[in-house]
Every structure is written in structure tokens, then in C-alpha cells.
Structure 1
């Protein structure tokens, strides 16, 4: 741990602001190198003769600015301010725009025609409807009951059974995440997430001026005791993908889900449970929502199971937060894309969305099985991607760079990382390559790289 002790006399203004400015100055001058572990709140407060709350506020602001990164159970570390707000940008730079000739394994997306076979006929039906002008107009009233009924039906398929008055409809899960953060937290608050998490959530947290702290995981997902520790330190919100976690593919067992729910209750905290990949593992335990319905916001979407283009997501919400959540959605969008919502509901009502999800699940299973065969993974998990733990001499950054040199595009692991994760790994999408032949070609390249490292996989995907 650093013995850093700034001279605050050079920085005018409130003490907490002076500490932030001193951190920024010393990072820029290399007096605080990247990775330096900062003094604890109590230690720095005692040596500066300020309150612990002043230091806590300063560290929170420094995290918001990208100067520091807090990690549950480990401390606070100096990070690279140039990487602030870059997680989603880093991911998208390779996920959506790989160079020609590169095999894209960077983005998790529905395989095949992106659901065009299902959506096309429904859009044709919509084009012939007499009420099309009304659907295309400004629709400022609340979401129609038929949309919430379809949403409730879809949520129930994932084990999230709630009353109709607890269902909200949103234009995609990213909008729902922003609304949930805005509803449940205030600027400067600390939010917990897996030590590797969805880059879009990291981006939303930064946009809204909150601080994200990574919670340690193992091969089975979030460690409940670490979640408890984070809540005990003051965090009041946890974001988790409990089933087929992105990017590690871990699925929490029943006991961990129950323990996390009980921890949220003990500490008066909330949970955002992202069900984006729930359809891939129908045998997974019931959602955390079942164990703490008054503490859990369960979100799901059609983006991976049917098509990203519908921009339709559903949320199951505790009664006490639903009004504020809906108000946040209204502030973000004013009017939802009703024609897209209508198409989504038609697909659900006709059972076509369910068929599309099953097609995607079967295709993912076939692709994952191929990955297991080529990479020598004993029990591959159902997912859109594999997670390759890195052991020396490989690091994730070196592996990604070498894969790119061999014409395979992988997302930078840093885009998923929260703070300084205790494990290292690489995510490789099996659904992005256009066909099984191209996927096999890419997997053989990855297998050769792993063999070059002479290090066996430390855990299954």
C-alpha cells in the first residue's frame, strides 16, 4: 500500500476536492504510477487530519473521473484516466467493425439471419393493418395493456412470474439499465457487479456519475460472501447476470442465489438481475427474483433470443419502484417505438418468438459442442461464447493481440473488467462466425495459440 500524502495547501476549495486534484496532479506527474494501491480511507484521513467521510467522498469522485478503481476486499488502485468511458468503445471498436478478412469472434449475437425469418412476415402484416398510421404516430400514453400482457408471458417463461401491474416495457435492455440505475441510486453511489461484466452496464454507470466496484467470482460465478462484504461497505445495488454470465458463462446455483437475496435483504439493498441469456439454459435454478421479489428488478430482452432489431425488453419490478422506473423510461424516450413493440407482441402471442429462442439455443449448443471438441473442453456450458482462462505465459492482452495477428478478432478483456479482477481470461463468441466451417477455422487458431502457451485450460467454459 502506498504512503501517499499530498500537500493540500496547493489546491484551493473544499478538502475533498483538494484531495481529488492532488490525485489527478500526481497521476499526471507519474508520482502515482498506474496500479498503485492507495491508502485506506481511515489511514489517509488520520494523516491529513480530515474526516473519513471526506476521504471517501474524494475517492468516489476520483473513481468517477477514472483516476481510481475500488475493488471489494482488495482496496483502491490508481487507474488510467484515458480509459474512462472507454469500455463500451473498446468493445464496439472490434465487435462491430472488424477489418475485412478477419474472423469475427468479438460479438455475441443471434446466428443466421438475425431472426429475419420470424420478423419479416410480421412486419408485412403490420404494413397492411388499418391502424398503422396510429402506431406510427406519437404515442405518449402509457404502454398498451397488450404489450404488458405479452411481456408478462415472456417473463413467466424465464421463471419471473409477477402481476401485470409489475411489468414494464422498454426500448431495449440498455434503456432499462439506465432507468434502473437512475431509479435506485444517486450520483456518487457505489454499485456492485461481477468483476467481469457487460460493457454496456459499465458505460451506463459512468454516464450517470456512479462508481462501479467489482465483486470477486470463481468458476461458479459470484461469491456470496464477497457480495455481502460489498453491501456492508455501503453499496446498495448489485447488477448480475445470474444465468450464463457475460463473459464467463457461469451460472449461479440455487444456494448462491438464495444467499445473495438474503444479503440484499439484510443490507436494505437492491438487485438488478439481467436475464438476457436465460433462454439458453432452461434447467438453471429459478431467478434471484423468486427469493427476494421486493428487492429484485428482473430484466430480459428479445435481442439475443429473437433479434436485436426489435429493441424490445421487459422488466419485472417491485411495486415500490415501478412508478419511478416508468418515469425514468419516459424521460429517456418520451415515446416508445410502438410498431416494434407491436411486432414483438405478435411474435410472442403466436409462439414464433419462443420458436426463435429455441432455434438460437439449439444452434448455440451445436457451436459450443464444436468449441469443446476442438479446444478439449470437457463440459462446455450453453452460451453464445466460450471463456478461456489465461495462465502464464499468456495474458489476455497478449492472446487477443496474437489472435488478431492470425486474423481472429476477439474483444479486449479490459472492456469487461471492473477494477483489477483476480483472474484473467478471454471471451470468444461462437455465434459471430457466419457458419460452422468458419467457426471451426477460428477455433483451430485459438487451439494452436493455447498449445503455444503450453498451459491447459484452468476451468471449463
Structure 2
């Protein structure tokens, strides 16, 4: 995407206080009004100082404060860019009940497969236990050991066999990500991420004060050359990455891309936090298997089974590398304080039962097939290329451009027209970790209650974008 250069010279007379604060206030106003849209490249500090007739140090201080407030980001050799707003939070605040005619394609959730009878049988098994009262206590050591065994069983089909002592069950994959980041988080810590990153990462960064450093991508994930550049320019030693069915783009690394990223992680001495919540839609092993003891894997069942049980896990695979990796806030075995202690025993018991009984395998296979069927349906209805042999994710990325079903529109414009037509989708600006390099929209084919709603949503989208 070509940079949008702003000839920005705000009028500061309406703002009281020090001049640098007035510049920041004017920037906030113009971002909120749309005068400075996401991805806009600002004038250089020297040029802005000359235009405003203020000292260069005043503009430098204003840019420093605006960076702290996550209004802008500076890239060495490329300039300063307006960041997208924190629209990621809005994904969790969409009123899906306010308008019953709205079809939600915005939230990534599995298709509804568990029937009420399935759940009754699962809970009946739990209620038949002799030590039922244990679920009202903190998780016991026996339950923790059972969870570790279940996580190991969950990963067996993908050829991944982490040590049970390295497994930490927790209350969902987002909690797992928070735990992994808390281990190394420092104010303004630079963290490398895909240029379009998942909303949970943006929320975590905002709450922890982390500075996201975007890395350019293609259909196979992050580009090795840009990872090398971004790491050296920022000094970042932590990379958060989704190698399989990345959210939002669906990018999946092939063997060559995996090998290149693994080699760079070693060369640059990176700690890799691997988000693996979509890996179960494939037979591919996690990238952590190849990272030679320099990764922390986070995952869960929310995208594969159901979000309600809140069953996730953190699997550090450091094997003596702790001293070479970024400075830690606590010992790795203290992760239990921010993971397992926060999980509800009744949900841990339920998910262990599903895994041990094999019920989860049946359910996951159904999810894989339903995701493929619905993806194919959306692609056919919107005139997109067929999926072919690629693995099917619950989500689908549609890039902006001449061949797009919303040709002539930006991702934000396409999303606005979709909303007016009664369909919720998500534009690229929600996922953007820095300046806007790529534009498009993400939709989730498994979110609607049935395939008929998917078909109706596609019909509305085609009409809205025509």
C-alpha cells in the first residue's frame, strides 16, 4: 500500500498548556475526526517544527508523548505513521443481540456442534464422581497432573510431545498469552509481530505497555528478510507469531519458510512466543518443535471446540536457554501463579474428560469438515478462488484490490457497507500493528448458526459491495 503523506500543520491556538501538549491534543483530534487516518505518514519533526514555528525539541517531545499514547509509531528510515485505534476491543463489544437480523461474521468461534444432550452426558459423567466436592476447591495436584497428561494426548496426533513438567493449564488461550508476556514484559518493550496481528495481541500490548514492531507478510507468513530488518532496527528479542492459519490472514508457513524463521530466531537470539490456537485444524506440528529450546507455545480449545470452557495452556520450551533470552520477571516455574491457579476446576475436569474419552477428536474432525464446507461456500458465493488443498480455517481473509469482491473500496469502507446491510465483518485496520501495509477484511464462516445464514450473509455482501 502506498504511503499517504500528510501536509499536517495544525492550528494550536485552541489548546491551552505547553506547546508539545497542544500538538498531541491536535493530533488526537485529527485522528478521531478522520483527518489523519491510520497509516498516514506525518511530516518529519524538523519540517513540522518549521511549519509551526516552534523549537525542534518541542516537536520531539510531542512525538515522544504521542508514541507513548499509541497514537503514532516511528520506523527507522521510513518515517512516523498514525496507528489504528484500539478497534480490537470493539470486537468483544459488538451487540449481537440488539439487531436480530444482523449476521455476525466478525467473531471467530467454532460452528455449533455440541448438542444439549452431548453436554448433559458429559456433565452427568462428572456428577457421578465420588469426590465431586473437589471442583469447589483450588485445582489439586492430581487434577494438574491429569491436565498435563490430557494436553500431551491432545498434541499426539501432530507429533508434538512436550515434557509434562513444561505444561501449565490456564483459563483460555488469551490468559495463556498474557502469562507468557508477563514473564518478560517491561514498559515500552519492543515485540515483533506480524504486520496484521490478532486482536488479543493488540489488547495485551496496550494493557502491558509493550511496543509492537510490525513485520511484513505474504501468504506464507512473516518475511524472513523483513524480520531480520525489524529485529535489528528495533533491538527486539521477542517474536510473537502464528505459523499455522494466522489470524486474520490464514497464512500458513511451508517447510522452507519454517526453516528460514528458525534459522533467524537462532541468529538473532529471539524468544519466540508461538500462538497455536488454529494448529489443530491441520496435522502440522507446532513450529516450537523446531526452535531448539527458545519458544513458549500458547494454545487452547476456544477456536477448535468452544470458547465457553476456557481451557488453555502455556508450554515453555526453553531447556536451559533462559539466561540467553530476554530478562524475565519471575522464575519460569512461577507461571503457575498466573495460569493454573486462575482456572476453574469444573472446566478443567470437563475438558480432560473430552480429551481422555476421545470425544474431542470426533468433535474436532467435525469442525475441520464444517470449516472447509463453509469456506468453500463463501468462496463460491463471493467469486473467490477455490480453497484447493489448503487447510481450512474458520476465518477467511479477502484482500483489497481490483480482483476483490469489494473492488474500489478500502477495508473500512467495505466493513461499513456490510454493517449497513446487516453483516458484521472486520477491516484490516483492526489488526494493523503499525502503518497500513495491507488492506482487506476478515470474516468468519463458522460464526453463523447454520449454512443458510452464511449464504444469506454472502448475498447481502455482494449487494452491498456492488
TM over 0.5: yes
* Alignment of 1:318 onto 2:341: no
Q: Which runs of 5+ in 2 are unaligned?
A: 11-15, 49-53, 323-327, 402-406
With over 3 angstroms needed to count, the CA separation of the structure-2 counterparts of 1:395 and 1:78, relative to structure 1, is: closer
For residues 223 and 64 of structure 2, the distance between their equivalents in structure 1, rounded to whole angstroms, comes to 24
* Alignment of 1:243 onto 2:244: yes
Q: Once the two structures are superposed, what CA deviation does each residue of 1:102-156 show, in whole Å capped at 9, x if it has no partner?
A: 1111111111245755544222211221211122113476962111111122233
* Alignment of 1:438 onto 2:442: no
With over 3 angstroms needed to count, the CA separation of the structure-2 counterparts of 1:341 and 1:333, relative to structure 1, is: closer
CA contact 1:4–1:39 (8 Å) conserved in 2:
yes
CA contact 2:372–2:393 (8 Å) conserved in 1:
yes
State the Cα distance separating 1:101 from its structure 2 match.
Answer: 0.7
For residues 117 and 185 of structure 1, the distance between their equivalents in structure 2, rounded to whole angstroms, comes to 44
For residues 24 and 142 of structure 2, the distance between their equivalents in structure 1, rounded to whole angstroms, comes to 46
Question: Which stretch of the first structure deviates more once superposed, 378-387 or 222-231?
Answer: 378-387
For residues 430 and 102 of structure 1, the distance between their equivalents in structure 2, rounded to whole angstroms, comes to 14
With over 3 angstroms needed to count, the CA separation of the structure-2 counterparts of 1:237 and 1:179, relative to structure 1, is: same
For residues 58 and 265 of structure 1, the distance between their equivalents in structure 2, rounded to whole angstroms, comes to 37
2:226 counterpart SS class: helix
Q: Alignment partner for residue 377 of structure 1, among 368, 384, 389?
A: 384
TM-score, structure 2 normalization: 0.82
CA contact 2:41–2:82 (8 Å) conserved in 1:
yes
Correspondence for 2:209: 209
Correspondence for 2:223: 223
Question: How do residues 15-164 of structure 1 correspond to structure 2 at under 5 angstroms?
Answer: 21=21, 24-25=24-25, 27-28=27-28, 34=36, 37=41, 62-70=66-74, 74-79=78-83, 83=85, 86-94=86-94, 96-97=96-97, 99-113=99-113, 118-139=118-139, 144-164=144-164
With over 3 angstroms needed to count, the CA separation of the structure-2 counterparts of 1:72 and 1:400, relative to structure 1, is: farther
* Alignment of 1:389 onto 2:410: no
With over 3 angstroms needed to count, the CA separation of the structure-2 counterparts of 1:30 and 1:446, relative to structure 1, is: closer
TM-score, structure 1 normalization: 0.82
For residues 9 and 261 of structure 2, the distance between their equivalents in structure 1, rounded to whole angstroms, comes to 38
Q: Once the two structures are superposed, what CA deviation does each residue of 1:292-329 show, in whole Å capped at 9, x if it has no partner?
A: 13121112211121221111112221244897355345
Q: Once the two structures are superposed, what CA deviation does each residue of 1:337-383 show, in whole Å capped at 9, x if it has no partner?
A: 11211111111111111111111111111111111222232332411
For residues 246 and 379 of structure 2, the distance between their equivalents in structure 1, rounded to whole angstroms, comes to 18
Question: Which stretch of the first structure deviates more once superposed, 356-365 or 222-231?
Answer: 222-231
CA contact 1:70–1:213 (8 Å) conserved in 2:
no
For residues 120 and 4 of structure 1, the distance between their equivalents in structure 2, rounded to whole angstroms, comes to 61
With over 3 angstroms needed to count, the CA separation of the structure-2 counterparts of 1:185 and 1:370, relative to structure 1, is: same
CA contact 2:219–2:252 (8 Å) conserved in 1:
no
1:110 counterpart SS class: coil
CA contact 1:118–1:352 (8 Å) conserved in 2:
no
With over 3 angstroms needed to count, the CA separation of the structure-2 counterparts of 1:414 and 1:140, relative to structure 1, is: farther
CA contact 1:403–1:446 (8 Å) conserved in 2:
yes
Q: Which runs of 5+ in 1 are unaligned?
A: 13-17, 453-461
Question: Which stretch of the first structure deviates more once superposed, 390-399 or 95-104?
Answer: 95-104
Question: How do residues 262-301 of structure 1 correspond to structure 2 at under 5 angstroms?
Answer: 262-282=263-283, 284=284, 286-301=285-300
With over 3 angstroms needed to count, the CA separation of the structure-2 counterparts of 1:338 and 1:325, relative to structure 1, is: farther
For residues 330 and 255 of structure 2, the distance between their equivalents in structure 1, rounded to whole angstroms, comes to 30
For residues 343 and 222 of structure 1, the distance between their equivalents in structure 2, rounded to whole angstroms, comes to 36
CA contact 2:170–2:342 (8 Å) conserved in 1:
no
Correspondence for 1:408: 423
CA contact 2:288–2:317 (8 Å) conserved in 1:
no
For residues 122 and 28 of structure 1, the distance between their equivalents in structure 2, rounded to whole angstroms, comes to 52
State the Cα distance separating 1:49 from its structure 2 match.
Answer: 9.0
Question: Which stretch of the first structure deviates more once superposed, 297-306 or 27-36?
Answer: 27-36
Correspondence for 2:374: 367
With over 3 angstroms needed to count, the CA separation of the structure-2 counterparts of 1:118 and 1:221, relative to structure 1, is: farther
CA contact 1:248–1:386 (8 Å) conserved in 2:
yes
2:41 counterpart SS class: coil
